[in-house]
Structure 1
Amino acid sequence: MKQISIRTLCEIGILAAMIGITGAIKLPNVIPGVDFQLSAPLAVAICAVFGFKRYIIAGCLASLLSLLLGTQNLLNVAIAMQFRLIAGAVLYLGRNTIWSQIIAGPIASIIARLTLGILFGKLAYAMILMAIPGYIFTAIFSPILVKVLSKVRRAVPTTVGGTMNVL
């Protein structure tokens, strides 16, 4: 059995809730399914501050809960999962610099939408164009949220809690 700290468990739960709630809020668009989730800059910031492992676990939990609650559909989850993997890769390759934080969201969103071209053909290009306001929003707010989450994380003492046995 692997032991996981209570702090880590709580962090993942809180991060999943934050991703889920902000993922349910979208910038609307004229074409259904092309809306832009406001969780994108928060997702990039979470990955940058808390690391990929916690980010991907929290993101998967958020997607599962959002599907169960009906606030997301399979298309939203497919885009979100691709976004998470690509954003994590961009942050890793960019060594988590401010520039990688700025471009991770837009690049991940564009690539995730391009892969939808398999299902939707040329409509994927319209999806990319319609999400431009979301790319700009993400590029501006990701580094800001990285600073905010970094301060919040540093403010919590690291000696809190014990450990739990996890399968």
Structure 2
Amino acid sequence: MNNTREITLISLLAVIIAISGSFKIPGPIPGTEFQLSAPIAVAIAASFGFRRYILAGIIASAITLVLGTHTIINVIIAMTFRVVAGGIIHFFKPRLIPVIIAGPLGSIAARIVLGLLFKNSIAVMLVAGLPGMIYTAIVAWPLSKLLNKIKEHTPWREISYEGRHV
């Protein structure tokens, strides 16, 4: 893939991650809302590979910092999620089970880091995140399949998960 297409793809993915992170889905109990970006991020990692996902995530974090919609703490939490969720998909490949568990495990890791940073009860943070983790587990696989179908109709259709031409 030429450099222009690669840069364009990573930039597009970064914008999708940044914008979807600004949308919150309410949970059944106040305080249990979560970002729509979690299942979208997992789908991006499963469809475009870890390297593109991490680069897009770093750019998305820079965008949100510059816009003032996130703080450095938000970025630390987001990057924890990205490394764990993306790493699971990278090491176990974008199959059903890894895609289903990547988001919840990324959320668990991010909430542990958040609890440690603020010296809050990690158990309470995990319970509050449970609705979002369940939603992400349910939605990530179909969303990754949808993203792959969309990818088939774009200039990036010739790339595989790891970025090689097919």
> Normalising by structure 2, what TM-score?
0.84
Judged with a 3 Å threshold, the aligned counterparts in structure 2 of structure 1 residues 124 and 35 are, in CA distance, closer, same or farther, namely: farther
Stretches of structure 2 lacking an aligned partner (at least 5 in a row): 159-166
Equivalent residue number for residue 163 of structure 1? none
- Identity among equivalent positions (%) equals 44
Change (3 A) 1:7 1:131: same
More strand by share: 1
SS at match of 1:131: helix
Q: Which letter does structure 1 place at the counterpart of 2:114?
A: L
Q: Which residue of 1 aligns with 2:36?
A: 38
Q: How far off is 1:111 after superposition? A: 1.2
Q: Which has the higher contact order (CA 8 A, sep 6+)?
A: 1
Indicate the residue corresponding to 2:78 in structure 1.
80
SS at match of 2:69: coil
SS at match of 2:14: helix
Alignment partner of 2:64 out of 56, 63, 66: 66
User: Per the alignment, in what secondary structure is the counterpart of residue 6 of structure 1?
Assistant: helix
CA–CA distance in structure 1, aligned partners of residues 154 and 90 of structure 2: 25
Q: Is the 8 A contact 1:45 1:145 kept in 2?
A: yes
**Count of residues paired in the alignment:** 156
Partners of 1:51 and 1:62 lie apart in 2 by 16
Match of 2:105 in 1: 107
Structure 1: state its 5+ residue gaps.
161-167
Instruction: Pick the structure with greater CA Rg.
Output: 1
**SS of equivalent residue, structure 2 residue 21:** helix
> 1:5 corresponds to which residue?
3
Find the residue that maps to 1:24 and give its secondary structure: coil
Select which of 24, 27, 31 maps to 2:25. Answer: 27
- Which runs of 4 or more aligned residues in structure 1 lie more than 6 Å from their structure 2 counterparts after TM superposition? none
- Kept after mapping to 1: 8 A contact 2:50/2:87: no
Q: How well do the aligned residues superpose, as a CA RMSD in angstroms?
A: 2.2
Residue in structure 2 matching 1:145, options 143, 146, 151: 143
CA contact (8 A) 1:24 1:72 kept: no
TM-score, normalised relative to structure 1: 0.84
